[in-house]
Structure 1
Amino acid sequence: MEIKKNPKSNLENYSKLFMQIGLVLALFITYVAIEKKTFDRQFGDFGDVVMNADLEEEIPITERIEPEIPKTPPPPAPEKIEVVEDEKEVEETVIETTETDETEAVEVEEIEEVEEEEEVVEDVPFTVIEDVPVFPGCKGNKAQLKACFNKKMKKHFQKKFDSDLPNELGLAPGKKRITMLFRIDEEGNVVDIRALAPHPRLKKEAIRIIKSLPKMTPGKQRGRPVGVRYTLPMGIMIE
């Protein structure tokens, strides 16, 4: 069975009416709110207030009292004033001059001549000598003369040394070191010979070899002949 709806009960037919009624109510409420009158509140009258008014304060007037400074009495006057006569003679002091006249003779003290002592130059090591001693047969500049001297010394030792002596001494096999120290004096002679060796006979043999060196041209320091110290280390092999 189908239910029929009464067309008068459909609210959609009155929707325009309801909207118009709502707009009228909204306009009425707005009008009433605008036309409503309000009144300002009134407070008691306190009179005119001046914010920048300065407070007047009575300040007492004070007077500064300066302390009294005691006055110093003036110095007493001299009891008696001495009067000096202008006619009194004053003795003058005469200063003798130290200048001499051309006519006067001047005494001159004798000047003693002092002989300058000769500068004593000590022995100079071979490594720093200006002009090394010259071994006979060496030529060239300073460096070449120095290299030639060392070469000649080693060659002289190897030539003069008794090679059979180390084996006769019964020393342990191995390399042994012999050091010879001597001095070449201002005349080129070899003097002050010493030696260090592992056996007395090796030491004696080293001294003998150095004594057999020829006379040399002495070394020079600052252009003057000087003594030169030289050290010759040599190694020997014992089998």
Structure 2
Amino acid sequence: MELKKNPKADLRKNSGTYFVIGLAVVMFLVWRGLEWKTYEKTNDYDVSMNVEDMLDEEVPMTEQIKTPPPPPPPAAPEIIEIVEDEVEVEETVIESTETSQEEEVIEVEDVEVEEIEEDIDVPFAVIEDVPIFPGCEGEKGKGAKAMRDCFQSKMQKHIAKNFRYPEIAQEMGVQGRVNVMFVIQKDGSIGGVRMRGPDKNLEKEAARIIGKLPKMTPGKQRGRAVRVPFSIPITFRLQ
């Protein structure tokens, strides 16, 4: 006698479905196992802290707000007394300056205008009467050219006589030419001395030489004494 199988009792019929469900359950359990984390129970709070103690803490004096004193009461207004002016003021009467027909007109004579002498500078090369260097008085009648030549000659002799080379300039090996400019004043004295040279020591020596010039007879233009600018070079050369 042969056994007959019941098709409903066949366990292999839904094996694929059961396999998928079991695989999904296993994967879920594995995932949960990997994601599972444990934490230590710690208490980060200090239960001993008392809020009232913090409120009772004293505030430093520097942090206390200083209340400004109240403003002083306003001063009482001054009482202004009105005083009557008892002083009599004299009125100033301004008289008219217009002339009437009845007044006589006085004739004024011619007014003489005085000429004001102006300080002018006339160059040495064009002045009419050249300043006279002491010792050149004898050349006065020989003309302006002879007076200029005598002046130049006396200037050169004066420089040669008073020349002295500064020792410090010699030690430093300084040499060159100093251009000296000065003015022969209206009284014959020397003023307005200016120098321009390669070294201050040489300029100082040139000023000393010019300062020893004698007083001269002033130059004249149209018969009136005028100031005469003059310039001359002084050469310092080492030998």
Which residue of 1 is the match for residue 4 of structure 2?
Answer: none
User: Counterpart of 1:143 in structure 2: which amino acid?
Assistant: K
Which structure would you say has the larger Rg? Answer: 1
Cα distance in 1 between the residues matched to 2:179 and 2:121: 20
Residue 117 to residue 178, structure 1, CA distance change in 2 (3 Å): same
**1:120–1:164: structure 2 CA closer, same or farther, 3 Å change rule?**
closer
Name 1:157's counterpart in structure 2.
Answer: 159
Identity of aligned residues (%): 41
CA distance in 1, matches of 2:198, 2:131: 30
Partner of 2:107: 109
1:114, 1:164 → 2: CA distance?
A: 58
Q: CA deviation at 1:164?
A: 5.6
SS at match of 1:194: strand
The 3 A distance-change label for structure 1 pair 203 and 226 is same
Q: Secondary structure at the match of 2:133?
A: coil
Instruction: Count the aligned residue pairs.
Output: 132
Aligned-residue offset at 1:196: 1.3
What TM-score, normalized by structure 2, do the two folds share?
Answer: 0.50
In the alignment, the residues of structure 1 paired with residue 189 and residue 122 of structure 2 have an alpha-carbon distance, to the nearest angstrom, of 15
Deviations 1:96-149 (A, max 9, x none): xxxxxxxxxx96532451423334251111111111100000121221111010
Residue 165 of structure 1, CA deviation? 3.5
The reply to whether residue 210 of structure 1 matches residue 198 of structure 2 is no
Output aligned runs, 1:167-178, within 5 Å: 168-171=170-173, 176-178=176-178
- Gap change, CA 1:131 and 1:169, over 3 Å in 2: farther
Show structure 1 runs of 4+ deviating over 4 A: none
Distance in 2 of aligned mates of 1:155 and 1:171: 26
Instruction: Evaluate the alpha carbon distance shift between residue 231 and residue 115 of structure 1 in structure 2; reply closer, same or farther with a 3 A threshold.
Output: same
Q: Displacement of 1:161 after TM fit?
A: 1.2
Contact 2:184-2:229 within 8 A present in 1 as well: yes
Q: Distance in 1 between matches of 2:176 and 2:156?
A: 16
Q: How far does residue 166 in structure 1 lie from its aligned partner after superposition?
A: 7.0
Correspondence for 2:49: none
Once residues 165 and 148 of structure 1 are traced to their aligned partners in structure 2, the CA distance between those partners, rounded to angstroms, is 32
Change (3 A) 1:166 1:223: farther
Cα deviations by residue, 1:193-217 (Å, 9 ceiling, x for unpaired):
1111211111111111101000000
User: Residue 148 of structure 1 corresponds to which residue in structure 2?
Assistant: 150
CA distance in 2, matches of 1:166, 1:223: 47
- 1:6-32 Cα distance to aligned partner (Å, 9 max, x none): xxxxxxxxxxxxxxxxxxxxxxxxxxx
Q: Secondary structure at the match of 1:130?
A: coil
SS at match of 1:238: coil
CA distances 1:71-95 after superposition (whole Å, capped 9, x unpaired): xxxxxxxxxxxxxxxxxxxxxxxxx
- Residue 124 of structure 1 aligns to a residue in which SS? coil
Match of 2:196 in 1: 196
Q: Is the 8 A contact 1:178 1:203 kept in 2?
A: yes
Larger relative helix fraction: 2
**SS in structure 1 at match of 2:153:** helix
State the shift of 1:218 in Å. Answer: 0.5
Aligned to 2:181, the other structure's residue is in SS state: strand
- Distance in 2, matches of 1:116 and 1:166, equals 56
Q: Once superposed, what is the RMSD of the aligned Cα atoms?
A: 2.2
TM-score, reference length from structure 1: 0.50
Unaligned ranges ≥5, structure 1? 1-105
Counterpart of 1:118, as a letter, is I
For 2:171 and 2:109, the matched residues in 1 are separated by 72
Q: 1:169 to 1:179 in 2, by over 3 A?
A: farther
